[in-house]
A and B are shown apart, each in its own frame.
Chain A
Amino acid sequence: DSGVTQTPKHLITATGQRVTLRCSPRSGDLSVYWYQQSLDQGLQFLIQYYNGEERAKGNILERFSAQQFPDLHSELNLSSLELGDSALYFCASSAAGSGAGELFFGEGSRLTVL
């Protein structure tokens, strides 16, 4: 058990809909990272938050947004969903804001868009 909790584990929805994925980081970790994993794209970095502030941005679509709350949990909002958004979404946390530091991963949220 990594200590990182993601909900929901599975989600099935229709195109055009909006969903919210939630992540609770490991106790004491200030950084939260979001990743998207699909068969054809591999593990893609989306965005990082550190202590409530956006720290780094990767290949995140404009239809997607994220935030980190004062209690350090984070949410990833996916809107106007398309079939291609079907993927496994991972959250990871670390103690460090930048630089070297092990990432602890949650079990992921599997999103299926029909």
Chain B
Amino acid sequence: SQELEQSPQSLIVQEGKNLTINCTSSKTLYGLYWYKQKYGEGLIFLMMLQKGGEEKSHEKITAKLDEKKQQSSLHITASQPSHAGIYLCGAQTLPSGNQFYFGTGTSLTVIP
């Protein structure tokens, strides 16, 4: 079973639209990470969240961590074709120890 569930599984948006991707953990989060993957390529680190209520932004991407709910959201403002790819959340969840798990992934397509 997946410890990290993401929704939606896929997303198709028009360029310029805002969108949100959610990540929910079945276990306590020990840091939550967001990565982006171009199809068939390696993962690129986006952001790391550690504290409940923490929010970080990079360019047009904002991530938040709601530790109490064991959830995180990734919000993209005014999406661009360059945002297309697969977004994955990752975390080390206690008491699993050192295993670093990833979510199911969200495939984003941005239509010009």
Contacts and interface: CB of A to CB of B under 8 A. Distances in A.
B105 A43 contact: yes
Nearest to B45: A102
Contacts of B101: 45, 58
Interface of A: 2, 4, 33, 35, 42-43, 45, 48, 55-58, 88, 90, 92, 97-100, 102-108, 110
A99 B100 contact: no
Interface of B: 2, 30-31, 33, 35, 40-45, 48, 50, 88, 90, 92, 97-105
Give the secondary structure class of A's interface. Answer: strand
A83 to B, nearest CB: 19
Given A45-B101, A56-B97, A100 B42 contact: no
